[in-house]
Amino acid sequence: MRASAGGLGSPGHSVTTAPRRIDVHQHLVPPLYRDALARAGIVDAGGRALPDWSPAAALELMDLLEIGTAILSVSTPGTGFLTDPAQAADLARRLNDHCAALAAEHPDRFGWFATLPLPDVDAAAEEAERALVELGADGVTLLANNRGAYLGTEGQEALWRVLDEHGAVALVHPAELPGPAVDGVPPFAADFLLDTTRAAYLLVRNGVVRAHPGIRFVLSHGGGFLPYASHRMAVAIAADTGRSPLDVLDDFRGFYFDTALSSSPAALPTLLAFARPGHVLFGSDWPFAPAAAGQYFANGLAEGVDAATLAAVDRANAEALFPRLAGRAPAPAPPRPLPARLRRSAQRAGARLFFKLVQPGAE
């Protein structure tokens, strides 16, 4: 059974015939960032080793997953591992200059979300202004918590004003929880989902999304636990604040959501049933999610929705958020020698077969 958005379209659309996607959740790990992390003794993020990354490898993955354009972002820990505010601000500036140059070299293939030196709110607001106005960033990345300071808590108004003024897209990405990890539970597997959920809860509970309607918040990984637990959380906020639970739910549904690692047969129907039409976007989470995982969840999306919904999630919904991409024809796949094309075709076919074999009830 395929999920649909408003019952439009017909089943049967496959990954290989989908429009060239816009990937709103793809990361980069440039040498300047890897070196800064290494100097601080950081070799992993969320319990996963820092992956290899290069523009060429990114374009190779994008060809495999039929991605036309990727909006790149720096993942956790951002600049928060630097306790000196000046050093954090300098690293954010250098990362954003690097991203701007990369996007200028590949304007049809790469966009970028700016890195902000939170938890220093004033410095973050200043860098957001520079990145959005001077460098042409497509939006900003906001870690759900920055050294324990969650989005939506007091003292962040200066940043919200800047983002609201520019109608910014803000990718809310999880970080490690402000507490010890549990042995045997890598943070990326479960804690990340809670981290995003906490930030979304506070952004709604404390009125940030209502006070700043110009900000388009995109919640990573299908919103964490938000779609599944939205009514439970709405009742809690209503009891706490005196607001109508229906108003709270309306605020929750105002978020955008990406599908990174979240388009499974269990999660995808819940996400599509909860999100407003037009508010679900394609995400891969590469290179922290390896290519095989990207293929698995891309196939989950293609196999789980009708053609109209697939076209919307793959591209049209992102075009509405990033108008500069809407005026362009989807980026064509680069020409490759016949052996490479055959290899890609075999990889996609194998990934589709694997996806079908591991579904519940499969023979």
Mean pLDDT split into 10-residue runs, the chain, 363 residues: 41 45 98 97 92 97 96 97 97 98 97 98 98 98 97 98 98 95 93 97 98 98 97 98 97 98 95 97 97 95 94 97 80 56 53 50 48
Alpha helices in the chain (DSSP H): 31-39, 55-64, 85-105, 121-129, 157-165, 191-205, 208-211, 226-241, 245-253, 267-274, 291-304, 307-311, 317-321, 323-326, 338-357
Structure confidence at residue 1 (pLDDT): 43
Torsion of CA 284, 67, 311, 224, to 10 degrees: 10
Q: 180: left (phi > 0), else alpha (psi -120 to 50), else beta?
A: beta
Provide the 8-state DSSP code for 140: E
What is residue 17's predicted lDDT score, i.e. its pLDDT?
42
Q: What is the pLDDT of residues 242-289, one digit of tens each?
A: 999 999 999 999 999 999 999 999 999 999 999 999 999 999 999 999
pLDDT of res. 16: 40
Token pair for residue 20?
């060239």
pLDDT of the residue at 128: 98
**1 SS3 class:** coil
Phi, psi of 26 (to 5 degrees): -135, 140
Pairing of the two strands 169-173 and 139-143: parallel
CA angle 187, 192, 197 (to 5 degrees): 150
Phi, psi (deg, nearest 5) at residue 332: -70, 155
pLDDT at 94: 98
Q: Which residues contact 210 (CB under 8 A, 6 or more apart)?
A: 251
CA separation for the pair 275, 214 (Å, rounded): 18
Cis bond before residue 287 (omega within 30° of 0) = yes
78, 175, 279, 319 from 325: Cα distances, Å: 26, 29, 17, 6
In angstroms, the CA 151 to CA 139 distance is 16
Helices within 106-190 (DSSP H only): 121-129, 157-165
At 69, give phi and psi (nearest 5°).
-135, 140
Q: What is the pLDDT of residue 363?
A: 44
Phi, psi angles (nearest 5°) of residue 71: -95, 105
Neighbours of 331 (CB within 10 A): 18
Main-chain phi, psi angles of 218, to 5 degrees: -110, 120
